[in-house]
Structure 1
């Protein structure tokens, strides 16, 4: 894609996100079919449609036929969101009613609620963090207080083993991953998470996992209503999300690539505004878990690309690394699906390992803890831990 087209597309995205901004001058350079393709590759077509709907009588507004094509895309996104909202609510209720499993929906529909139109975000699968609690409750089990328990990292948590058994009773073909198990019993694919996210560096991951455990109580109590009476779910608090979703961005950046949809999620999250105390706590956590430099690159995307005011940022943007991140975003598309430089899909685990390691060496000078002595080591630990999970699940049959 030519630099002029990329600039015009990003200008229009920035306009779409900022309700008070005027139509950008570069709109005259936009090919609307090309922009729609860009929106689909980045999974942000609904956001761009939100901007197009605000253009009013602009001389550069596309033809009625083109607008209809855009509207059809938005309508499909909205229909998918309605289904995912319903499934997320039914899953939340069913997990506790049938198995006494408390849950918290990560990313996905929780993020969609932060958008000005809760139906304009391109939906995906349902990522839901689960915790088995034996206590009974009269309100779906989401408000009782968790008791302090052992922190597991090197060994398999017995609660994870129980969750795997529950999932396998519903779907005996669900794949066991390092931090989740797949569950395909609804219209929307589901991943039941043992913990929210992980890092490429084992030391940093252990610290992050401890932080997740220390702050998990509040996440399972933070219940919200879905739009138009579609149900209720629990979602993470804003201060938790700022750390968790940054770890998710960082993981996917070094694994297969990250797109603008995830950056826009983070944009709307930061617009909810952290307090000064929360910002200081976030900074301390990011330093402790090795995410601060990556955060400075994300802040560049937030401010210089998406137009977020400095007041919403929690660390000074790093332009050099931010430009590197932006280049990868444009090349990769949503979760790296459109990156023609590196093909992860369809590769064996071992070939994927070598492609990932080669790709990440390009970032070694800025992120050595992830790319040099992080992921090349942790990938073997992840494989060994997944073997332990499968073995523990089989032993209890």
Structure 2
């Protein structure tokens, strides 16, 4: 992680994410081709809006040329418009669920965007809904089908569809953990934390968000799920860092640590915390509990860097074949490699993740 463009990338990322001013650094100024490479890196990890914020904090002499800044500005404007459009879709969906007396909880996405100083600069993905009863999940899916919208069921007890041009996902599970011995404990956690739910107001509608403690577990477990499959983007690391910063006074660190230990992912979270502090710039005092000393997380950051957002930019696999077939390639090989890397940090998840993915392909 020592190349000049990478160094510049992380300087700008931290400046944009935390609102830090930048004086001149040895890696600046960059050439036009270097700026284009940096922007490509930011796009691969879906953080071009955040890095743009950092770029604007550079001294004038270190700014990129106009023919780099102008298309970048257009791209950031498009990100902002996408967020505004997604908020409208979110309001439509909430009204739809309320009309049919269905209780839905928003996961990640626009709820996490609230943790940012400028939520509109965060690249938005899809809308994820969790239904805490199987009946609500089944009924919501049925209503969508009856409206003439095609549903696609996916591994992990979820489904997706397109609503007014926006990708929506329904989930039977709030937290992406696959150890079956933890299911009862997770459900009990949800019930105990029910009264601590948060709310987001969008388009005049109240959107339910998970309680802060559940948000910590849900967000970091979601990162682990993608790490075990094909990879994760730096945007997801930014989400986790901003979550820590925003909610650090709203959770009991000892309780959260005990929860991670009970779920068998404490070593994984400690590894993630080391990355958030060293590479994403989270001040360590905003971690929910003390950073463990002497954790080497550089290798994991290198893996994340190479794979890109959800593994879609991983040059170690045949990406052209993946695009041509419109499906993942070398699935077993990639899962096996990740199993070996992460089984020490989250043993039960490393074992049960692929088993659950295979089993749930045949269960709606």
Q: Does the CA-based 8 Å contact 2:141-2:151 persist in structure 1?
A: no
Number of equivalenced pairs: 355
Q: Does the CA-based 8 Å contact 1:300-1:319 persist in structure 2?
A: no
- Which of these residues, 285, 309, 315, is aligned with residue 334 of structure 1? 309
Q: Distance in 1 between matches of 2:24 and 2:258?
A: 38
- Give the aligned partner of residue 83 of structure 1: 85
Q: Does the CA-based 8 Å contact 1:279-1:314 persist in structure 2?
A: yes
Q: Does the CA-based 8 Å contact 2:15-2:53 persist in structure 1?
A: no
- Give the aligned partner of residue 199 of structure 2: 223
- Which of these residues, 206, 209, 220, is aligned with residue 235 of structure 1? 209
Unaligned runs of 5+ in 1: 133-156, 390-397
The alpha carbon displacement at 1:127 in A equals 0.7
Q: Distance in 1 between matches of 2:333 and 2:67?
A: 47
Q: Distance in 2 between matches of 1:347 and 1:208?
A: 34
Residue 39 (structure 1) aligned with residue 16 (structure 2) = no
The alpha carbon displacement at 1:354 in A equals 5.1
Residue deviations 1:341-382 (CA, integer Å, cap 9, x gap): 2469558799634541344223334443333x3334333433
Q: Does the CA-based 8 Å contact 1:196-1:244 persist in structure 2?
A: yes
Q: Does the CA-based 8 Å contact 2:21-2:57 persist in structure 1?
A: no
In structure 2, the CA distance between the partners of 1:32 and 1:54, relative to structure 1 (3 Å rule), is same
- Give the aligned partner of residue 153 of structure 1: none
In structure 2, the CA distance between the partners of 1:277 and 1:163, relative to structure 1 (3 Å rule), is closer
Farther-moved stretch of structure 1 (361-370 vs 85-94): 361-370
- Which of these residues, 290, 304, 311, is aligned with residue 264 of structure 2? 290
In structure 2, the CA distance between the partners of 1:169 and 1:161, relative to structure 1 (3 Å rule), is same
SS in 1 for 2:169: strand
CA RMSD in angstroms comes to 2.7
Q: Does the CA-based 8 Å contact 2:176-2:218 persist in structure 1?
A: no
After superposition, residues 95-114 of structure 1 pair within 5 angstroms as: 95-97=97-99, 99-114=100-115
Q: Distance in 1 between matches of 2:339 and 2:126?
A: 27
SS in 2 for 1:184: strand
Q: Does the CA-based 8 Å contact 2:232-2:307 persist in structure 1?
A: yes
In structure 2, the CA distance between the partners of 1:350 and 1:79, relative to structure 1 (3 Å rule), is closer
The alpha carbon displacement at 1:206 in A equals 4.9
After superposition, residues 268-287 of structure 1 pair within 5 angstroms as: 268-275=242-249, 278-287=252-261
Residue 184 (structure 1) aligned with residue 187 (structure 2) = no
Residue deviations 1:50-71 (CA, integer Å, cap 9, x gap): 112223x431112223221221
In structure 2, the CA distance between the partners of 1:20 and 1:11, relative to structure 1 (3 Å rule), is closer
Q: Does the CA-based 8 Å contact 1:87-1:187 persist in structure 2?
A: no
In structure 2, the CA distance between the partners of 1:118 and 1:277, relative to structure 1 (3 Å rule), is closer
Q: Does the CA-based 8 Å contact 1:12-1:27 persist in structure 2?
A: no
Residue deviations 1:287-346 (CA, integer Å, cap 9, x gap): 111121111111112211122112111242465452222111101111111112246955
- Give the aligned partner of residue 16 of structure 1: 16
Q: Does the CA-based 8 Å contact 1:224-1:235 persist in structure 2?
A: yes
Q: Does the CA-based 8 Å contact 1:170-1:185 persist in structure 2?
A: no
The alpha carbon displacement at 1:42 in A equals 0.3
Q: Does the CA-based 8 Å contact 1:297-1:319 persist in structure 2?
A: no
Q: Does the CA-based 8 Å contact 1:171-1:183 persist in structure 2?
A: no
Residue deviations 1:251-295 (CA, integer Å, cap 9, x gap): 111111111101111111111142386211111111111121111
SS in 2 for 1:234: strand
Q: Distance in 1 between matches of 2:144 and 2:259?
A: 32
Q: Does the CA-based 8 Å contact 2:6-2:38 persist in structure 1?
A: no
Q: Does the CA-based 8 Å contact 1:238-1:272 persist in structure 2?
A: no
In structure 2, the CA distance between the partners of 1:173 and 1:319, relative to structure 1 (3 Å rule), is farther
In structure 2, the CA distance between the partners of 1:69 and 1:214, relative to structure 1 (3 Å rule), is same
In structure 2, the CA distance between the partners of 1:27 and 1:232, relative to structure 1 (3 Å rule), is farther
After superposition, residues 284-323 of structure 1 pair within 5 angstroms as: 284-315=258-289, 316-317=291-292, 320-323=295-298
Farther-moved stretch of structure 1 (195-204 vs 43-52): 195-204
- Which of these residues, 148, 166, 169, is aligned with residue 146 of structure 2? 169
SS in 2 for 1:71: helix
Unaligned runs of 5+ in 2: none
In structure 2, the CA distance between the partners of 1:184 and 1:62, relative to structure 1 (3 Å rule), is same
- Give the aligned partner of residue 126 of structure 1: 127
